[in-house]
Structure 1
Amino acid sequence: MKSIICYRVVTCLWIVTILLSYFIFHTFSIVESHANLVQSQPKQNSVLEYSPTDITITFSEPLSPTLSYIEVYNFNGTKLDNDDSSLNSLDKSTLTISVPVLPKGTYTVIWQTVSTIDGHKIRGSFYFSIGEPIQFSKIENYEPLFLYKSEPIIKSFSLLGSLILFGSFFTYFFIITPVLAGKTTINGLASKACLAVLLISYAMATLSSSAQLILHTSSIYEIDLFNTIGSPLINIYTDTTWGKLMWLKLLILLFIPVVLQVSKLISNHHSKSLYYINPVFFIPISLMLLLLHSLSSHNATVSELYYQGVFVDFIHMLFSAIWIGGVLLLTITLYAVKNTVNSIDLNNLTKSLFKQFSPIAILTIIILSITGIFSAWLQVNKIEALSTYYGVTLVIKVCLIAIALLIAGINSFFFIKTRKITSIPGRLLISESILIIAIIFSVGALNGLEPAKNATPFFSNQLTLTEMDNNLQLELQILPANVGINNTQIHLSDSRGGNIVNASNIIIQTTYINQDLGSHTYYAQNIGNGSYTTDPLMLNLGGIWQFEITVQRPDALDSRFAFREAIGGSHPKFTFLDIYIGKLLFGLVILSIGLTFLGISVKQGGWQNDSGKKYFILGLVSIIAGFSISIYTHSMSNDKEFQYINPIVPSSVSIQIGQNLYRDNCVSCHGVTGIGNGNLYNALTPEPNASNLLIHVPLHSDNELFSIIKYGKDGTSMYGQESILSDEEIWHVINYIKTLE
């Protein structure tokens, strides 16, 4: 009767587990990157003629209504809004606040958002003015590197606990138990060692996850730790998907002792060992913890490759757990049994354990490398992104992994290829364990930092740009080259290094590339010795900014320069994360994993061996899936959409190329000056109504111009040039026609 009751309880537990799995996949929204500003009214850095009645900002994600707000301050730091910030009832990603009639002056809009998706708090600001140019503001808006100071440490312990919980259990049942079969005394010691590791990792995961939830809630609501108990912890669950993930993780952790107790009742085992822990129940539950980590990882922020990113991160977590849990448990197990056997038996035991672990270790290292490369591509797909805090931390992590793998290779040779063991488990094995813990802490730091494509540069606080045109050397310096107010200085010289002091007009036009927010124009003043300066540049959004400089001199042709640089880190919408390449890489990842399984299968004896047969089947399935994904993705390559941002900087070279292409292909209709007086104008049918480029080009964004030129415009005499001009040539033409005046 007792056994029947226990099995019914287990059945109920499995039903709960399945429901939790369904809840994980179907309830949570796709995690996107942090809630960043998309557009605002009034626009950033705009100069208005009259006072607005309200300030409206739209962000990239739905927002928490209780934790997101807008505030408006004047030049002296006095708050002037009506304190009625609210979410739009129809669009949960739009915030609005009303303001009284504002006098002339410069105003700072400060906003805070907490995304319902990932629970991160982001602050930002921008400026606008009424009736006068924008001036310096006394309002400072500091955004800390981490949400709270201990964030990377807490996340590291949480991750480490979850990894060891699965990895050590897996290692005991699939590595240690087969080797120690029939060796009751040694197996008992190993079982106690593993149980101690499980208890410590369980306590680590539970306590650190609880601390993470409380500290995160405290930081989001800006309240003391004690005040988080109660409604704030409930609100973080109802307001954010991150909160739901954390609460579910804690519920699963509390669910684990119930599973263990039921397993103990079923086996009717009362000793302090692992015999009563049924892996059929424990492994799926511990895997759920890893899945929850993946669902809130940076890979899950790439919405276009959400499922691919989460899957690869989960595989990476799975094999990280096997590597970490395996190394740590083997180290502790050998320490636990070294005083109970003689040196010869200890030598044979060590060799047997590492021989059993070796194929899995090789498989783990290869798969971690493959999945790590894919994840790195998702987050750092440009070399420039390595200069961010995220990029630097990633480099440190890779170096630590390289050292750990080197030590693992030495361990493998030392314990398997030779029979000489002077110290068990040896300093190298201990060093590898320490390095693994260091790697986990670097991962915790990465999880707390902004992804590289959103983050702040780490090294430089000055941007220096140089270019030569028409025998004129221009050097543009931007300080501090970060979001906010930036000072500029321009130096002009000739090819021999002599200062150019007679520039009659220098115009700088700044354009935020990530979104169509218009451009802002600055005029430089001569400060002597070939140097010029402008009013401070207002670069109030992190992302890619384009700087176009026109230098006019009385004794030379106009010189044009153009630069495109990341300010405060690059925005994911500009990094051109090629979805086609991403899907193709994902297929290659699965294919590579399959080939790795086949390689291990051959090493294990192939189809003739039970172990080799399992690896062979896994490898074959993975290869078929990888080939299918890659072939399907390749077949869809022709369906890629064109880039929405002009990839070619409007330099003097690009403008000259565009001018030549315009002369050969466009002048006959639009005319030399672009006003629509070409030789074929009167013969066009239907009669054109938008042929004056000087009027109509400024009304369209770059991607709209690209579409019109490439595909034409239905119902007009503007026919598509797809068969005449390449995509690159079209972008050159766009750069040229935007200079017509």
Structure 2
Amino acid sequence: MLMHKDLRRSACWQLTIGAALVALALFLLFPGTAEAHAVLLRSDPSQDALLRTAPTEVRLWFSEDLNPALSSAVVVNSHNQRVDTGNAHVSSRDPTELDLGLKANLPPDVYVVVWRSVSNVDGHVLRGSFLFTIAEPNGTVPHLNASAPPPGQDLLGGGNTSSLYTGQIDAVGLFNLVAVTLSELGAIFWVGAQLWRFFVLEAVPTGEGSDHSETEAIVQAMPSRFIHRFAVPTLLALLVANLGVLVGQALFLSNGQWSGALAPSLLLSMVTSSRFGTFWLGREAIILLALAVAFYQLLARRHPAPFERACAWLNLLLGLALFGTMTLSSHAAAVSSNLFLFSVLIDWLHLLGSAFWIGGMFYIVTCYLPLLEQHAPPLRAQSLTTVLPYYSPWAIAGVLLLTITGPFSASFHLTSPAELITTAYGRALLIKIVLVAALLATSAFHVLLLRPRLKKEYGKYAYCLEHLEQSQTNPTAQQTEKASEEPETGIQQRRWARQLKLREKRLTRLTTRLTTVLRWEPLLGVGVLICVGLMNIFAGTLAPTTAQNQTAPTASSTATPKPLTTSATTSDGLFTVTLTVSPNRFGTNTFTVKVSDRQTQRPVTQVGVTLYLNMLDMDMGTEVLNLQPAADGSFSAQGDLTMSGNWSARVQIRTLDNKLHEMQVKFFTPF
């Protein structure tokens, strides 16, 4: 029996090391980046195009496959009148291309293309717009009326559902955060319970030859406790949470309107017209099947042993399949085809590591510690020092998987280390890293300090108990023959009894301390999963939400448009950056940046400058401008401010040593 257990533990460690090596190899060999949403890459006509003849159609190309039923585009003129033919559709040749016909013979004017992309992979929504202009026959270039409302701003569900883009939690973002967090938490807890049964409880020595009958009873009671108290509620919560994930996506499509988000036609279209919907249905089907098994185990009075074990294996396979469907409908699947398999595998391993570590901690709190409380402290100590060592290898495996796969997953979404600070997604990731580090420190504290002390103290307690029992069970005949030794025997018994009482007090104190740590430790796991939810919400365009060293002025919406000039230092304090926006009004503007050394005040020209523009009042996406050097030492490019209101500008400077330096400002653009 012991040899069999040793072989099993050796196999567990081999599997752990193998998984870690595979994940590490993938991390080193297949780095890459991917967009978290279907981002507009190019268009025809292109952004800010000046045309001599009217086009007959608009074609847009995105970074991901589009949901053909929900992705759309419209075109309006400067008077906010639609000029498209209403036939926006995803190309049958290219699932990343969206085409839209235009009315014949469009007159000279400024036209606004408003688009909405819905990712076919994860269902996330992105909106944006750009301008093109048809010139007069004599070459005159039409302009937008600065005093008129911006055309196209209310089309395709436009509005202030901005959590994906501004990093500020609104009602829609909060709903999505709750749904995603509960979905992750429920799945990790349920799968963690199945892993505990097969990889921990079955490894604990039981049966003949075991001296721990009380521990054996606790081990046998844990699966029953989970089935009768937690299996059905967890799966029901998981079912509802996944429905909430779908409704949360619908809220972005309906501009936060519940009546529109709950419309059966919209929900049906979401689950039948995209890969996200297919795998979402797969999630719900797996959960319903697991619920059927859980209800059978809960209601059936007697469970034949072979059938009960078959149910346990079925639950484990369903849990692993659930992780698969979650991965295939997440950001991990939104990569190029040559990285798809590796990205999905890494994300699946990340979930598996979470189930081993965080899910295992929840199982300890809900199914193990309550059973321990029914016993005296010595029996608690005996059980803790017997059972937990069989969980430690798998907890370490979970830590390794999270540690290795986490940075790999982040590399798909972050384009530079600076985005860890400058973006809402990056800051949520940083907080997650801090919480994981706190979890590691807490786990190390009780694994390397508390548990060895408890085991040592329990050994002393068992030694005292053994000698006290021996002194109390001396044969009566011997005591009669050696009556003169009777007082000495009584003194030894009292001495051992005092020692035993002292050891029991210490054992009680250490046991209480360890169970307290184990009981509160999962709260850090909840914090990690909340960060995962925040990263899911803020992944849209990795837009900055705050600015440092802001000096940008504000103005009312009725102010006369005039060029804006503002200066600020980079976050590392090395450069002073002056940004000029001219004429700073709705439509096409010229963005000029001058860079100077903060110490010498001399202009710096041997650098690359990129400007990231983000609308803070509405989810218009992020416009990226690569500024070109000018003769006067400045850098400039033209770009669109697609509506009036509050904007955020992030200036990124790349020096010759390939280091990035950033400055952020906020500014107001009037009509």
- Place the TM-score, normalised by the shorter chain, in its bin: 0.5 to 0.7
**What corresponds to 2:579 in structure 1?**
477
- Which of 374, 377, 381 is the equivalent residue of 2:408? 374
Residue 94 of structure 1: how far off its partner (Å): 2.4
Which moved further from structure 2: 373-382 or 491-500? 491-500
What is the distance in 2 between the residues matched to 1:111 and 1:447? 22
Q: Is the 8 A contact 2:232 2:295 kept in 1?
A: no
Output one character per residue of 1:254-294: Cα deviation in whole Å (capped at 9) or x when no partner.
Answer: 111344567799994299xx966633221111111111112
Which moved further from structure 2: 302-311 or 182-191? 182-191
Output one character per residue of 1:63-90: Cα deviation in whole Å (capped at 9) or x when no partner.
Answer: 3343222222333544444444344454
What is the distance in 2 between the residues matched to 1:165 and 1:216? 24
* Aligned residue runs from structure 1 range 356-395, under 5 A: 356-386=390-420, 387-395=422-430
Report the secondary structure of 2:320's partner residue. helix
Report the secondary structure of 2:409's partner residue. helix
Report the secondary structure of 1:43's partner residue. coil
**What corresponds to 1:450 in structure 2?**
539
**What corresponds to 1:307 in structure 2?**
341
- Which of 327, 342, 347 is the equivalent residue of 1:294? 327
**What corresponds to 2:195 in structure 1?**
170
Q: Is the 8 A contact 2:250 2:262 kept in 1?
A: yes
**What corresponds to 1:44 in structure 2?**
47
- Which of 265, 274, 278 is the equivalent residue of 1:244? 278
Letter in 2 for 1:138: P
Report the secondary structure of 1:363's partner residue. helix
What is the distance in 2 between the residues matched to 1:415 and 1:264? 37
Change (3 A) 1:95 1:221: farther
**Residue identity (%):** 23
Residue 341 of structure 1: how far off its partner (Å): 1.6
Output one character per residue of 1:589-608: Cα deviation in whole Å (capped at 9) or x when no partner.
Answer: xxxxxxxxxxxxxxxxxxxx
Residue 434 of structure 1: how far off its partner (Å): 0.6
Q: Is the 8 A contact 1:110 1:126 kept in 2?
A: yes
Residue 248 of structure 1: how far off its partner (Å): 0.8
Output one character per residue of 1:651-676: Cα deviation in whole Å (capped at 9) or x when no partner.
Answer: 9x99xxxxxxxxxxxxxxxxxxxxxx
Letter in 2 for 1:75: S
Residue 425 of structure 1: how far off its partner (Å): 5.1
Letter in 2 for 1:252: I
Change (3 A) 1:394 1:563: farther
Q: Is the 8 A contact 1:548 1:560 kept in 2?
A: no
Change (3 A) 1:365 1:567: farther
- Which of 237, 243, 249 is the equivalent residue of 1:210? 243
Letter in 1 for 2:629: I
Change (3 A) 1:99 1:564: closer
TM-score, scaled relative to structure 2: 0.64
Letter in 1 for 2:519: I
Q: Is the 8 A contact 1:114 1:120 kept in 2?
A: yes
What is the distance in 2 between the residues matched to 1:134 and 1:150? 41
Change (3 A) 1:447 1:36: same
What is the distance in 2 between the residues matched to 1:343 and 1:166? 30
What is the distance in 2 between the residues matched to 1:298 and 1:191? 34
Output one character per residue of 1:170-223: Cα deviation in whole Å (capped at 9) or x when no partner.
Answer: 213432454473546534543343222333321221110122223434543666
Report the secondary structure of 2:418's partner residue. helix
Residue 98 of structure 1: how far off its partner (Å): 1.1
What is the distance in 2 between the residues matched to 1:566 and 1:348? 70
**What corresponds to 2:546 in structure 1?**
459
Q: Does 1:121 align with 2:146?
A: no
Residue 370 of structure 1: how far off its partner (Å): 1.3
Q: Does 1:423 align with 2:521?
A: no
What is the distance in 2 between the residues matched to 1:163 and 1:337? 22
Change (3 A) 1:483 1:192: farther
- Which of 218, 222, 229 is the equivalent residue of 1:186? 218
TM-score, scaled relative to structure 1: 0.58
Change (3 A) 1:429 1:264: closer
Report the secondary structure of 1:383's partner residue. coil
Provide the aligned length of Structure 1 versus Structure 2. 496
* Aligned residue runs from structure 1 range 275-294, under 5 A: 278-294=311-327
Which moved further from structure 2: 205-214 or 259-268? 259-268
Q: Does 1:151 align with 2:180?
A: no
Q: Does 1:436 align with 2:499?
A: no
Question: Gaps (5+ residues) in structure 1?
Answer: 1-30, 468-472, 501-508, 514-539, 552-558, 569-647, 655-727, 729-741
What is the distance in 2 between the residues matched to 1:134 and 1:541? 23
The structure showing larger relative contact order (alpha-carbon pairs under 8 Å, at least 6 residues apart) is: 2
**What corresponds to 2:102 in structure 1?**
98
Q: Is the 8 A contact 2:122 2:330 kept in 1?
A: no
Question: Gaps (5+ residues) in structure 2?
Answer: 1-33, 136-140, 165-171, 207-212, 455-506, 553-565, 613-619, 642-652, 659-671
